[in-house]
Amino acid sequence: MIKVNNLTKSFKRNNFIKTQSLVLDNVSLHIKKGITLGLIGESGCGKSTLGRVILKLISLDSGEIYFNDIDITKYSSKDMISLRKDMQIIFQHPDTSLNPSKTILFSLLEPILIHNLMNRNEAMIKIKEFLDYVNLKEEILSRYPHEISGGQIQRIGLIRVLLLEPKFIILDEATSMLDVSVQAQIIQLLKKIQKEFGITYLFISHDLDLVTAFCDEIAVMHKGKIIEVGKNYDVYNNPQQDYTKKLIRTFKKFKE
């Protein structure tokens, strides 16, 4: 589904010397179709940058990106338009993708009409189906983002993405701001969606327990490098790299 080879990405530092900071350092990763790959690592290690580079939301310095065996490395923004509906992202704060001055209905209709996927009547039928699917009432459509809860906003974010019928979704700390009970509901919903629609997930998180329980495979990132990849419980219970062992020890100690 997703394959990246030797990705590098640097950002210029705002200082007098004009140095560059290497955020992605020769990253290679393979995300198989229909699975959930968890990407973990401490803050600033490059997790979110990798996600945005894969979606070509930011440029890369070097390397290759493949989506369904298609080399999209040199795709321009215009070239990516046709793939945008297939490759989506849900952020930690999904309300940032919603217009605060527009109703929830407007925010749900907008991407459908932009991509010209269906007419308004067809879209309304689909929206109502998805509201039922994620256990939201139709009355929410007339509300504004600030009038609904974090869990409801996350569900609206899911609907907004699912309406485009994507094949690959990046979940960038998508549940980290939710309380434990709501987080569990969203995770179960994500599993249900994956099973029914065959979607592939890249799940970016700092929560090792959640990643281990939710993801099929885990990739560990440290200082811009992927240092370990394996089956979920193999990585958690039998880590091979010293940094992974330290990360797990620190996480377990923090929980105590």
Residues 15 and 79 in one domain: yes
The residues, ordered by sequence, that sit 6+ positions from 196 with a Cβ below 8 Å of its Cβ are none
Tell me the three state secondary structure of residue 8. strand
Please check whether residues 22 and 115 belong to one and the same domain.
no
Question: Per the domain annotation, does 186 fall within a domain?
Answer: no
Q: How high is the pLDDT of residue 256?
A: 61
Q: Does 98 lie in the same domain as 81?
A: no
- Please indicate, yes or no, whether residues 160 and 252 belong to a single structural domain of this protein: no
Nearest to 59 by CA among 5, 7, 3: 7
The reply to whether 214 falls in a domain is yes
Distance CA 136, CA 123 (A): 17
What DSSP assignment string belongs to 168-203?
EEEEESTTTTS-HHHHHHHHHHHHHHHHHH--EEEE
pLDDT in tens, 114-127: 888 889 899 999 99
Query: In terms of domains, do 53 and 173 share one?
Result: yes
Per-residue pLDDT tens listing for the chain (256 residues): 999 999 999 987 766 556 678 899 999 999 999 999 999 999 889 999 999 999 999 999 999 999 999 999 999 988 998 899 999 998 877 677 788 999 999 999 998 888 888 898 999 999 999 999 889 999 999 999 999 988 898 889 999 999 999 999 999 988 877 788 888 888 998 999 999 999 999 999 988 999 999 999 999 999 999 999 999 999 999 999 999 999 999 888 776 6
pLDDT at 15: 60
Residues 62 and 97 in one domain: no
Q: Check if the beta carbon of residue 169 is closer than 8 Å to that of residue 201.
A: yes
Residues 119 and 226 in one domain: no
Q: Are 67 and 45 in contact (CB under 8 A)?
A: no
In the chain, % of residues over pLDDT 70: 96
Q: Please tell me whether residues 115 and 129 are part of one structural domain.
A: yes
Distance CA 115, CA 98 (A): 17
User: Could you read off the pLDDT of 20-30 as tens digits, one per residue?
Assistant: 788 999 999 99
Is residue 26 included in any domain, yes or no? yes
Task: Please give the Cα distance from 73 to 118 (Å, whole number).
Answer: 30
For residue 177, count other CB atoms closer than 10 A to its CB.
15
Which of 208, 94, 211, 210 is CA-nearest to residue 151? Answer: 94
CATH number for position 60: 3.40.50.300
Question: Which of 1, 35, 68 has its CA nearest to residue 194?
Answer: 35
For the question of whether the overall pTM of this predicted structure is more than 0.75, the answer is yes
Q: Is residue 124 part of a domain?
A: yes
Q: Are residues 4 and 118 in the same domain?
A: no
Domains identified in the chain, total number: 2
| 13 and 69, same domain (yes or no) | yes
Residue span of the structural domain in which 109 resides: 93-165
Residues 161 and 113 in one domain: yes
Query: And the tokens for 132?
Result: 């039922």
Residues 154 and 172 in one domain: no
